Structure 1
């Protein structure tokens, strides 16, 4: 057998392994002994080794084929599952699971940048989320937190931000992180402002309420400026209009409580995917927010888990838990039981449609703590909805990175990519719930847990 067989060295990355990351002999950190899931959907590597030099991975493969360089720091992963750091493409950094949206917005909205968003970022990273996409925050707050996390000034994942959502209906207290669009010229101007500020993508909502001219102006301006466009899929019309305009992806599967995606939605998706000239289409279903809340209605005990709320200041923790003391009082518009019942059916439809399914948890909505949300999304996909665990992991790693234009540098355990790595004790392939207790978290080559 060739000595290189079984090593994760893609042809396009082979040269980059030595240019960007150095050779395996230069590794300064080695994780050895565990089962490796590389995020690409390939077969797991038993008794595997991951070698890291600085911020980059230098080699991945079986222990029988990789030599750990002398002087490298050794982290034993015996008895563990090792995988790429998780990506969560649907997080609300502005919210911490509070059950009263109006009170939260008015009381904590002004504290978003200094208090709320750094707490959410820290909870995500400590839960093994090394990259995340925020779904709406004040523009300067979002950009500042992205800068601070990327430069190690705040403990958190690598962030991708949209700044404020663009939509047609906005609550009075939410004007800083949701901007109303009033006409085509206004739509173009708001997209231009966001692009010039440096956001990573454009997020639209209420697509069924926009005029055709407004949507065309917003998407056209985004394309001119190189901004990907994503939108909330709240109603069937949102999807059909978004597909027609060629947007890059959707978030959520509320569908106004329908038991399944309507036939006209599936048809529009198929037509888009069959068009060889069309852009790739991704979808972050975000099913766990509603499913978790329904579970809490029956058993609120998980909210009393100390580690899950340990990062919250005592007064904030008391306020969040107090707002959830009576789940029946939580805003029905956000947490309707009718929408929860069709979540698995809609997820399976999207999987069968063969679009790029990516993982997003809706972390931050009522009862859905950033410390728990991402692993719950994976567990619901597998345990409740029946998707293969490797499919869910790929959606939370490689496919998510590709969706955000970062597949060339992150999202998998491959030589030359950023060393974002997590490890959990036990066999994750049999028990995805093990992700609720991540033992090792490495972000960009630095161990944070």
Structure 2
């Protein structure tokens, strides 16, 4: 064993570091031990960042965490020099759509590209997310067989991507015509239970409800009860007050979006019900994924179109599909999808403040894949909007993208923090992300399950 000391950077050490940095490909996985040495660690637990950190990785998992003054680096370890970098747990994006790539016209997209979802489109989205530092993601709304196949191919190492948690199709009362492949209607409580059972038997990780205010009360209750009986959390849209009321009444585990159109805030009875729910410790935390960046930045996005012009979002996407997406966004200010957004954006900060005051636990999610939202940039832009537009402190935002998502999915024994025994999902970024959160737009190192993939 050899002890690494912060002040001992001699010529021999520098040669070792250079050798590690210039290793070809992703050789980290072949090394018995990998050591990330010297960076500032934000471990996900919420404490002060740890300078001069050392993280030891053996196989897929973290074996030890310390500092250069307290932790011995084993002889023969592959050493990755992270001085001058911020190290974090791999990010989670709690609301993505890998079957979408930012195209403006849903009808055209689904009518044209559905046969290419599993083979080309969803794998491209998964690769982009991983390269952006997203090592875990929740894919909420796609054809069932495609969702399961892509998730399982990632887990088997056949394609690169984040660890995926999938819902398959939405559950609602009546699916819109032409969208039945990713939206399932139910007719009565028995059918609701049967549809949830079909999803559970296929192996989904969560059940997603949408437009539950248009369902019968018996259907909503049946969906949630059957999902919980099968050990699956239920995630529900919160676009309208009655969606929230019904979700709370029957036990939804998490809500999505801020919703409520142009209303200035949530009705008092909804806020009261939220506070009563969050005060009930026996039921655990109530999670909420607001997906708010698109509202806060809408006017900037249509006047300053650099994020659309940037060719980085085309990486991994077949050329014909990329060209179609780009053509659909030629006039971003004309998209019907967003015409009400300038008014809604003025209420977003108030609604977020109301939710946090009511005691919900916010999670970072983006709706990535919807028009103008690209998988290579959605997650960092959401984090940046939380910190620099809403004034949320960086540690709260980071934990909403690391620790709390793992807790919400009951996988915090394996994910969410940089801790011994957990999977080595770690990212590193040059600079201080606690001061400049937007540095996350250029993640320098991505380690997933102990394997360096960037």
Give the TM-score of the pair, scaled to structure 2.
0.91
Task: From 68, 77, 80, give the equivalent of 1:72.
Answer: 77
Once residues 323 and 362 of structure 1 are traced to their aligned partners in structure 2, the CA distance between those partners, rounded to angstroms, is 18
Task: Please name the residue that 1:127 is paired with.
Answer: 132
Q: Provide closer, same or farther for how the CA distance between residues 330 and 277 of structure 1 changes in structure 2, counting only shifts above 3 A.
A: same
1:150 maps to 2:150:
no
1:103 maps to 2:99:
no
Once residues 153 and 57 of structure 2 are traced to their aligned partners in structure 1, the CA distance between those partners, rounded to angstroms, is 24
1:290 maps to 2:291:
no
3-state SS in 2 of match to 1:81: strand
Once residues 32 and 395 of structure 2 are traced to their aligned partners in structure 1, the CA distance between those partners, rounded to angstroms, is 28
**Shift of the alpha carbon at 1:95?**
0.3
3-state SS in 2 of match to 1:45: coil
Task: Please name the residue that 2:400 is paired with.
Answer: 395
Task: Please name the residue that 1:168 is paired with.
Answer: 173
**Shift of the alpha carbon at 1:111?**
1.5
Task: Please name the residue that 1:23 is paired with.
Answer: none
Task: Please name the residue that 2:17 is paired with.
Answer: none
**Shift of the alpha carbon at 1:335?**
6.4
1:412 maps to 2:403:
no
Question: Which shows bigger deviation, 412-421 or 335-344?
Answer: 335-344
3-state SS in 2 of match to 1:250: strand
> Any gaps of 5 or more consecutive residues in structure 1?
1-25
1:421–1:441: 8 Å Cα contact kept in structure 2?
yes
Alignment RMSD (CA, Å): 1.5
Per-residue CA deviation, residues 227-273 of structure 1 (Å, 9 max, x unaligned), is: 11110111111111111111111111122222223322211111111
Task: Please name the residue that 1:332 is paired with.
Answer: 337
Q: Provide closer, same or farther for how the CA distance between residues 27 and 65 of structure 1 changes in structure 2, counting only shifts above 3 A.
A: farther
**Shift of the alpha carbon at 1:420?**
0.1
1:112 maps to 2:112:
no
Question: Which shows bigger deviation, 220-229 or 158-167?
Answer: 220-229
Task: From 426, 435, 441, give the equivalent of 1:436.
Answer: 441
Once residues 135 and 331 of structure 1 are traced to their aligned partners in structure 2, the CA distance between those partners, rounded to angstroms, is 23
**1:45-64 pair list within 5 angstroms:** 45-64=50-69
Give the TM-score of the pair, scaled to structure 1.
0.92
1:281 maps to 2:286:
yes
3-state SS in 1 of match to 2:64: strand
Task: Please name the residue that 2:43 is paired with.
Answer: 38
**1:78-93 pair list within 5 angstroms:** 78-93=83-98
> Any gaps of 5 or more consecutive residues in structure 2?
1-30
Task: From 233, 240, 259, give the equivalent of 1:235.
Answer: 240
Once residues 401 and 264 of structure 2 are traced to their aligned partners in structure 1, the CA distance between those partners, rounded to angstroms, is 25
Question: Which shows bigger deviation, 246-255 or 328-337?
Answer: 328-337
1:93–1:117: 8 Å Cα contact kept in structure 2?
yes
2:33–2:59: 8 Å Cα contact kept in structure 1?
yes
3-state SS in 1 of match to 2:145: helix
Q: Provide closer, same or farther for how the CA distance between residues 287 and 176 of structure 1 changes in structure 2, counting only shifts above 3 A.
A: same
Aligned residue pairs total 424
**Shift of the alpha carbon at 1:65?**
0.6
Per-residue CA deviation, residues 110-140 of structure 1 (Å, 9 max, x unaligned), is: 2111111111101000000000000111111
Task: Please name the residue that 2:230 is paired with.
Answer: 225
Task: Please name the residue that 2:316 is paired with.
Answer: 311
1:292–1:368: 8 Å Cα contact kept in structure 2?
no
1:309–1:371: 8 Å Cα contact kept in structure 2?
no
Once residues 362 and 63 of structure 1 are traced to their aligned partners in structure 2, the CA distance between those partners, rounded to angstroms, is 40
**Shift of the alpha carbon at 1:334?**
8.2
